[in-house]
A and B are shown apart, each in its own frame.
Chain A
């Protein structure tokens, strides 16, 4: 059971990474809205900004945004 739970956890982290890559600059926006972590905050935000620049360089675009627009238009919500 422990091994399965390890696989589950590793997969969820990989998916989170994938979600970040596919979500335009939203993760960075959300990161700026997160609670202040005191002395760690600046360093963490510098790291996230650097990582987000690497993500943008991949050129995958904002898949999340397009999916969101499509879902809102299709359902009449939003």
Chain B
């Protein structure tokens, strides 16, 4: 069930009514939201409900046991191994089998391989990470273990963030289920703005740029002239920003109308003046997750410069691999890690670029590194680099004027001053509730009207 579909609108409309009906009865509210979340997830494939239930059971049980004296280390190791093992089997098993098979074939040692052949359950990377977050936070004493399994079940399955994040932390979410409240007028205004902005980003900007500019360019890079190659690469940078931040905006807005607040997942990433700054603005929930659960435990900033650089590279390579079981994602993560390590070494030697050149260099690196992320294989990466740097076709079809408009609109959404957003929320927050609903309804109607026929899944669903 995708957000911008009639099925979701009807589902969510029913959940809003039920949420009002159980207001003031926390146990019923939890049960209703868990049931709704399982219906939402089961709409993709009901077989995976058992998997999500299993992940929840492991996290809940580990949470109860991990605080017992002497049990911390074994329970942490066992539960994290079980959770990562589940992710590994479903997401990476066939990738490793394929890679091994290709390696053996190159060595002239071809073998019939045993394929796992499992379908990747949508959202598994996100909810497994949340389950790990819960166990580790309990072990660290950041959140108390929950005796009530329903609390953990709701934290892991809550439908707005279930399939593509943001990755919500147990310490942020669990206190909210203890003290639920209907959203205030200001929160409703904020939710309306977030949902409408998200739909604009996804249905208008990301989908059109993807279908009309980016997909054709990456299908035949050798036929691109230099301008089109750069425009399509910029188009992909804007497409993935609008697609993913659009999903996050809708998820945060949808949760807010139910009375739950998630943290922001994007903060104008293409304004970053360094790579470090970029990663503080892009997919913030994953960046902070990697920092808190991987980078710091591996030594973080405590060691020497070389150790810091190595840890950075390792973390970013793993983060790239988290995105998908493919060498191109691994390469993307590795290159970001190397670039970040290089930036840190330069800064440690006092080499720091002023804001404007720093922004330009950061944009260029991020833009070029989207290439391996988007390209289906490394041959396309090579061909596309050729198109970008001189081996271009003499003439390519012109880019539609409307697409230049969408590129500008995408950039404008990234650059819009935060004060403007604050003002829009304040205006919407002052409206009476029916007027807020009218704004939402009219906006959704318009967004569906301008959208393409059919539905395009969000890019991050595949992760």
Contacts and interface: CB of A to CB of B under 8 A. Distances in A.
Contacts of A75: 402, 405, 450
Contacts of A2: 20, 23, 182
B6 A4 contact: no
Contact of B402 (A4, A68, A76): A76
B16 A9 contact: yes
B441 A78 contact: no
Say what secondary structure dominates the interface of chain B: helix
A59 interface: no
Contacts of A27: 6
Q: Name, among A11, A12, A15, A76, the residue most crowded by chain B CB atoms within 10 Å (CB to CB).
A: A12
B13 A77 contact: no
A64 B20 contact: no
A71 B16 contact: no
Contacts of B5: 30
Interface string A49-61: 0000000000000
Nearest to B259: A5
A58 B405 CA distance: 39
B450 A13 contact: no
A46 B263 CA distance: 43
B17 interface: yes
B147 interface: no
A13 B405 CA distance: 34
B445 to A, nearest CB: 6
Contacts of B20: 2, 5-6, 9
A37 B442 CA distance: 29
Contacts of A34: 6-7, 10
Contacts of A68: 449-450
Nearest to B14: A13
A72 interface: yes
Contacts of B450: 68, 71-72, 75, 77-78
Given A71-B449, A72-B450, A11 B13 contact: no
B424 interface: no
Q: Label chain A's interface by main secondary structure.
A: helix
B6 A30 contact: yes
Contacts, number: 96
Contacts of A33: 7
Nearest to A30: B6
A26 to B, nearest CB: 8
A5 B182 contact: yes
B368 interface: no
Nearest to A19: B445
Given A1-B184, A2-B182, A30-B6, A8 B452 contact: no
Contacts of B108: none
Interface string A1-31: 1101111110111011011000000010011
A64 B437 contact: no
Nearest to B24: A2
Contacts of A47: none
A53 to B, nearest CB: 19
A35 interface: yes
Contacts of A45: none
A30 B1 CA distance: 13
A8 B434 contact: yes
Nearest to B17: A9
Contacts of A72: 450
A35 B13 contact: no
B423 to A, nearest CB: 21
B100 interface: no
B188 interface: yes
A76 to B, nearest CB: 4
B360 to A, nearest CB: 31
A12 B437 contact: yes
Given A64-B449, A68-B450, A72-B450, A5 B437 contact: no
Interface of A: 1-2, 4-9, 11-13, 15-16, 18-19, 27, 30-31, 33-35, 64, 67-68, 71-72, 75-78
30 contacts: A1-B181, A1-B182, A2-B20, A2-B182, A7-B432, A7-B433, A8-B257, A8-B437, A9-B16, A9-B437, A11-B434, A11-B438, A12-B441, A13-B17, A15-B438, A15-B442, A16-B9, A18-B441, A19-B445, A35-B1, A35-B43, A67-B449, A68-B450, A71-B446, A72-B450, A76-B402, A77-B204, A77-B212, A77-B402, A77-B450
Given A77-B208, A77-B452, 5 more contacts: A7-B437, A12-B437, A27-B6, A30-B6, A35-B43
